[in-house]
Amino acid sequence: MNMRTPALGLLLTVAFFAQAATHAPHWGYGGEHGPQKWGDMEADFATCKLGKLQSPIDIRGATKSALPALDIQYAKSSADVVNNGHTIQVNLADGGVLNLDGVPYKLVQFHFHAPSEEKIDGKANSMVIHLVHQNADKKLAVVAVLLTEGKGNVALDSVFKNMPQHEGGKKKLGASFNAADLLPAERGYFRYVGSLTTPPCSEGVRWQVLKQPVEVSKAQVAAFRKLYSMNARPVQPSNDRKIEEN
């Protein structure tokens, strides 16, 4: 997951998961531009190697807690599908909110990683959706939806059929895309505090990783991986941080 603020409002906001700024150093997922090199690329990326609350993590030994049910209030919205050079990202004009401890976090965008960045007991899924939210104080929260191969995903059809094939490409969806259709029926989740999973790897991000995967077809996975065969940061040390589950 990655950030910055569209006409300096939404564009930079969503760029934190896409790093669209042209002045930023080139980073990627392999070789001399891969994750192990991010922290040395520029001073603003130093948290990628120095941070102690980095994401993703391998979720193990979570503490059973009386966590509240996730208060997700997504709504129909217009949407743009963007190829930002690191993933396929869907920017939402007014996609609704996630309420955490009574504070609304607006759904700004969602994007994909293959395979899933987070692991559960050492196991990764075929892909993951990161739904990115921001509150009035610019604090971030992410809901992660794991994707596993199975039947075709109707909710993602319009996105996968409109993925721009080249970096910088953008396609508009209709005004009725509802991110609620991406969520599994069961909303049990893991919770921890982590970071963006792309440079600048900023910390303090509130993560909610849903336990129940959602199915996507083998063809849908292949369509994404044709563009991005691997765009997952390796898991980071948990450093004894608190991981809760309901």
Catalytic residue ranges: 86
Return phi, psi of residue 91, to 5°.
-90, 130
Q: How far is CA 180 from CA 31, 48, 61, 104, 222, in A?
A: 37, 31, 29, 16, 24
